[in-house]
Structure 1
Amino acid sequence: MSSSLRDILEPYVDGGALPGAVGLVARGGRVEVEAVGSADREGTAPMVADSIFRIASLTKPVIAAAVMMLVEEGLLALDDEVAPWLPELASPVVVRTPASPVDDVLPAVRPITVFDLLSSRAGYGFPADFSLPAVGLLFSELLQGPPQPQHVVAPDVWMKKLSEIPLLYQPGEAWLYNTTSDIQGVLIARASGQSLPAFLAERIFEPLGMPDTGFSVPAADLGRFTGYYRTGDGGLELVDAREGQWSSVPAFPSGAGGLVSTAADWHAFARMLLAEGAVDGGRGRLLSAESVRLMTTNCLTPVQMAAGELFLEGQGWGFGGSVDVTPRDPWNVPGRYGWIGGTGTAAHIVPATGTVSLLLTQVQLGGPTPPDLMRAFWRYAAGA
C-alpha cells in the first residue's frame, strides 16, 4: 500500500500522462486532499485544491437526487408515466431487435415511467455494441458522446429529435447508459417550472455550500479552471481551453455530464448522501433517508447487470450511479455507490464505513474501462 495519496498521483503527472490531478479521500473525520501538477499542459498555473474541473458523468448522481426531491414533494411519483411532462415520449416505438434498422419498429408494450428514467431502463442509451443503428442516432442527432455543451440544441428541440429515435429495448427491459440522465434534466425543468441550472443552484448547490458547481464557469473564476485534454499520438492534445465551451451557460444543460465542480463541492454532496439526506450542521434535509436508500440500492437484475458488463464491470446500478454488489476487486465493497466521468473523474461513497473517494483529472478517458490511475486510487481509498 502506498504511504500517501500524493504517492498515488505524482507518478502519473511526472510521467506525463496527466498535467495534474486533485484527489480526496475522507474516512470518518479525517480528510486527505492532494493537488499535484499543473492546471494546464503548459504549466502556467499550479493545480490547487479548489481547481475547477469538468466532472462529466459525476453530474448523474446530482441529477438523480434532484428528481428524488421532486418525488418527495409530490410533483412526481416513481411509477408515474413521464408523458404529462415529456409528451414527446407519450407513444414510443421500439426496434424489432436491437440490430434492426431504425424503421423496423413495434409499439412499446407500456409507457415510460419516472422509475425507468432513474434506473436507466427507459430503452434509450448505450449498450455494449455502439454500432447498432438506433444507437448511432444518439450520437449523430443528439451528440451523446464526450461533452460538447455549446454544440447541443435547446431542450425542446432535443426532445423532439429524441422522439424520432426508436427505443433499443422495451421500457424496463434493459440497462442502457447515459441518455436517461439527460432526459431527467429536462423532466426536472418541466416539472419544477424552473430551468435546470436555476433549480440545482437554489435547491442543491446553495444549501450544501457548493459555490463552484454549475454548468459554466464565471469569468472571475476562470483562473482556477483546468484545461481539458485527450491522449493523442503526439501526447496530450487540447480539447477545451479555460475560455472554451464552459465559459457560458449552454442552451442544453446536460444532466448526463454538463457540470463543473471542485473536490470540496462534490465532497459536500457526498456528505449529504452519507448523512442520509441531511445537510451539514443540522441545517435541515435535502432528501429523506428512504430516498437516499433508493438512490444507492441496486435495482438491476443479474441478467441486466451482465448485459451492462462493459460499463458496470459486474456491479449494479441505483439512481445516477453504480452500486457494488460483487467483490471482484479490493475496492468493490458491497453498497459502494458512485460513478466515473469521461473527462477523467471518479467519485464514490461507502455508506457502511463513511468513506468518500474523489479523483479529478482533466484527461479524457479512452473508453468505458477505468484507467490504471483510477484503479490505483480506489485501491488506496479502500486501504488495500
Structure 2
Amino acid sequence: MAYREFDTPQMSRRALLRGGAWLTAGAALAGHPMGRMAFAQGTPAGWTNVRSMVDKYVSERKVANMVATLGWGQRDPLTIAEGTLALGGTAQADADSLYRVYSMTKPITGMAAMMLIDEGKLGLDQPIADLIPAYSKMMVQKTYDGSITDLVPAERPITVRMLMTHTAGLGYGIVQKGPIQKLYEEQGLIPGQVSRLPIPGLGRAVAVQGLDVFAERLARAPLVLQPGTKWSYSVGLDLLGRVIEVASGQKFDAFLKQRIFEPAGMTSTFFTVPQNAVDRFTTNYGIANGVPLPIDPAKASIYLDVPPFPMGGAGLVSSPRDYDRFLRMLLGYGKIDGKRVMGELAVRVGTSNLLPETATTQGTWVEGQGFGAGGRVTDGAYGWGGAAGTVAFVNFKAGLRANLMTQYMPSEAYPIHEAFPQAVVADLAAMQGAKS
C-alpha cells in the first residue's frame, strides 16, 4: 500500500508509520532516586498517573483499549489494562492481547543485527555492498525530494551503522514527496501495511514480493541525502533485514524467531497473526475529526495475510507481555530468566549513541539526542514508538522498563507518545515523596 493522498490533519501520509515523537520525558527517569526499590512498593494503585491516563482514554472512548506494563530490573511486570479488543465488544484487553507495533519493530531488527556484529558476522562500519553488491555505486539526488535524474555519486559507502541510525541517505515513502515518493510507489518499495479495506485517500500500490527483491530494487533508486550526513527517517531498518539474511544465511523472519523470540520466551510476536490467535487481536482505528473509526478490524485484518516480505521497520504484531520480555532482556544486558539471548556488549553498544560523527540531527525529530540500533537514545534510556499509538523504552540508569499499547492512527492524533513517559515520571516522583 502507499499513502500518497491521505494528507488530512487526522491521518497524514507522513504520520502513518513514523512512530511520532518519542520520550521527550525519558531522560527525566535517568538516575531516578527510586531505583529498583520503587517497584517493590508500587502496587497498581501506586501508578496513579499512568492509571488515570489509561482510564481517561478508554472511558472517553478515544481508544478501545489501553494496556501498560511497568517493571523494574528482572521482576515480573505490573500490568494496567482497560477496555475491550474493539469498541462495543466484550472481550477484555490484557497483557496477551495482540497489537500492531509498527515501528517498534525497528529496535528488534537493530538488536538482531547487533547479535551478528557481536559474533563477527557483520561489522558496525562494514559497507553493506560487501553483502549486497548492488549498493556499491549509489547515486544521490542533487536536490532533496527533487529530480530523480539530476544525480551525483555517493561520497561514501552505506554502512551497517548508517542503516541502524537512519543516516544512510535512504528515503521513505511515508516521508518523501515528489518524484522520489512516486518512484518508491511504482517500484513497490512499500515496507508497511495498514488495511485490506479500500480506505479513501490510501493508495493501493502493490509491494514487491520478497525481501531480496525489495533490496535490489531499492539499490536502483537514488538516495535522498549523502550517506552519513543527516538523520532522516528511512527504510534503513527494512534493508537491514536483508543484510541480516545474507550475513546469517537464514531468512530474516526465521532468524528473529530462532534467535530472539523463542529464547526470550516471546510466544506472541508475529509477522502474520495465526488463526488460533485471532481472538486475542485488537482492532485498529483511524481518528477522523476526533472519532475513532475501524480501519483494520481484527477478524479481517491485513495482518492475517502473509506479508509481501518480512518488514524489519514496521511489520510486527506483538503483545504487551511479549514486548515487555524484549525490554526485560535488554535491561538484563542480554539475559532473561537466567538464559542469555544476546551478548552484554551487543546490548550496551546497540543501546548507545551510534550516530556517525559526520551526521547531523539538526532540524529533525531527534535533534540534540542520540540514536542507537533502531531506537532513540537519551540519557540512559533507549526505545521507540509505533504508528498506531504504542511506545516502549528501557532506562538503564533507573533500572526501569515501560511499555504502552493501544491502537489508533495517526500516532499524533493523541499525545500518548509524550504523555505516557511523563505519567511514569510523575508517578515515580509521587512514590519518592511518599517514601520520604
TM-score normalised to structure 1 length: 0.88
Residue in structure 1 matching 2:160, options 95, 103, 114: 114
Query: Structure 1 regions of 5+ residues with no counterpart?
Result: 325-333
* 1:181 aligned partner: 237
Match of 1:178, SS state, is: coil
* 2:265 aligned partner: 209
Matched, 1:286 2:304: no
Residues in 2 aligned to 1:185 and 1:224: alpha-carbon distance in whole angstroms:
27
Residues in 2 aligned to 1:137 and 1:322: alpha-carbon distance in whole angstroms:
29
Q: Per-residue displacement from partner, 1:32-71 (whole Å, max 9, x unpaired)? A: 2111111112324221221011110110010011111111
Query: Does the C-alpha gap of structure 1 residues 266 and 2 become closer, same or farther in structure 2, counting only changes over 3 Å?
Result: closer
* 2:310 aligned partner: 253
Contact 2:272 2:305 in 1 (8 A): yes
- 1:282 Cα deviation after fit: 2.1
Contact 1:149 1:250 in 2 (8 A): no
- 1:251 Cα deviation after fit: 2.5
Count of equivalent residues: 369
Residues in 1 aligned to 2:91 and 2:214: alpha-carbon distance in whole angstroms:
37
Contact 1:149 1:254 in 2 (8 A): no
- 1:24 Cα deviation after fit: 1.1
Matched, 1:8 2:63: no
Question: Which has the larger displacement, 369-378 or 242-251?
Answer: 369-378
Query: Structure 2 regions of 5+ residues with no counterpart?
Result: 1-45, 197-205, 430-436
Contact 2:286 2:292 in 1 (8 A): yes
- 1:185 Cα deviation after fit: 0.9
Residues in 2 aligned to 1:136 and 1:365: alpha-carbon distance in whole angstroms:
22
Query: Does the C-alpha gap of structure 1 residues 148 and 158 become closer, same or farther in structure 2, counting only changes over 3 Å?
Result: farther
Match of 2:352, SS state, is: coil
Contact 1:141 1:161 in 2 (8 A): yes
Question: Which has the larger displacement, 136-145 or 191-200?
Answer: 136-145
Q: Per-residue displacement from partner, 1:251-299 (whole Å, max 9, x unpaired)? A: 2110001011111111111111111112x2322x232222212211123
Which residue identity does 1:295 align to in structure 2?
G
Query: Does the C-alpha gap of structure 1 residues 313 and 142 become closer, same or farther in structure 2, counting only changes over 3 Å?
Result: farther
Residue in structure 1 matching 2:329, options 260, 266, 272: 272
Residue in structure 2 matching 1:70, options 106, 116, 124: 116
Q: Per-residue displacement from partner, 1:226-270 (whole Å, max 9, x unpaired)? A: 011111148222221223211133121100010111111111111
Matched, 1:105 2:151: yes
Residues in 1 aligned to 2:121 and 2:290: alpha-carbon distance in whole angstroms:
52
* 1:50 aligned partner: 96
Question: Which has the larger displacement, 101-110 or 226-235?
Answer: 226-235
Residues in 2 aligned to 1:131 and 1:171: alpha-carbon distance in whole angstroms:
19
Q: Per-residue displacement from partner, 1:101-130 (whole Å, max 9, x unpaired)? A: 110001111221112212221110359974
Residue in structure 2 matching 1:378, options 415, 421, 427: 421
Matches within 5 A, 1:316-355: 316-324=370-378, 334-355=379-400
Q: Percent identity?
A: 35
Query: Does the C-alpha gap of structure 1 residues 306 and 371 become closer, same or farther in structure 2, counting only changes over 3 Å?
Result: farther
Which residue identity does 2:218 align to in structure 1?
L
Residues in 2 aligned to 1:173 and 1:142: alpha-carbon distance in whole angstroms:
26
Query: Does the C-alpha gap of structure 1 residues 313 and 21 become closer, same or farther in structure 2, counting only changes over 3 Å?
Result: farther
* 1:171 aligned partner: 227
- 1:371 Cα deviation after fit: 3.3
* 2:19 aligned partner: none
* 1:200 aligned partner: 256
Which residue identity does 2:383 align to in structure 1?
G
Q: Per-residue displacement from partner, 1:124-154 (whole Å, max 9, x unpaired)? A: 0359974354355445544547534985222
Residues in 1 aligned to 2:275 and 2:413: alpha-carbon distance in whole angstroms:
32
* 2:138 aligned partner: 92
Residues in 1 aligned to 2:372 and 2:163: alpha-carbon distance in whole angstroms:
11
Question: Which has the larger displacement, 258-267 or 21-30?
Answer: 21-30
Query: Does the C-alpha gap of structure 1 residues 304 and 344 become closer, same or farther in structure 2, counting only changes over 3 Å?
Result: same
Residues in 1 aligned to 2:262 and 2:230: alpha-carbon distance in whole angstroms:
36
Residues in 2 aligned to 1:37 and 1:10: alpha-carbon distance in whole angstroms:
9
Which residue identity does 2:399 align to in structure 1?
G
Contact 1:149 1:253 in 2 (8 A): no
Q: Per-residue displacement from partner, 1:184-228 (whole Å, max 9, x unpaired)? A: 111112222221111111110000000001201110110000011
Contact 2:86 2:283 in 1 (8 A): yes
Contact 2:194 2:296 in 1 (8 A): no
Residues in 2 aligned to 1:204 and 1:239: alpha-carbon distance in whole angstroms:
31
Residues in 1 aligned to 2:185 and 2:352: alpha-carbon distance in whole angstroms:
30
Query: Does the C-alpha gap of structure 1 residues 125 and 158 become closer, same or farther in structure 2, counting only changes over 3 Å?
Result: same
Which residue identity does 1:180 align to in structure 2?
G
TM-score normalised to structure 2 length: 0.78
Match of 2:85, SS state, is: coil
Which residue identity does 2:238 align to in structure 1?
D
Residues in 1 aligned to 2:144 and 2:392: alpha-carbon distance in whole angstroms:
32
Q: Per-residue displacement from partner, 1:302-321 (whole Å, max 9, x unpaired)? A: 9722232xx32643211110
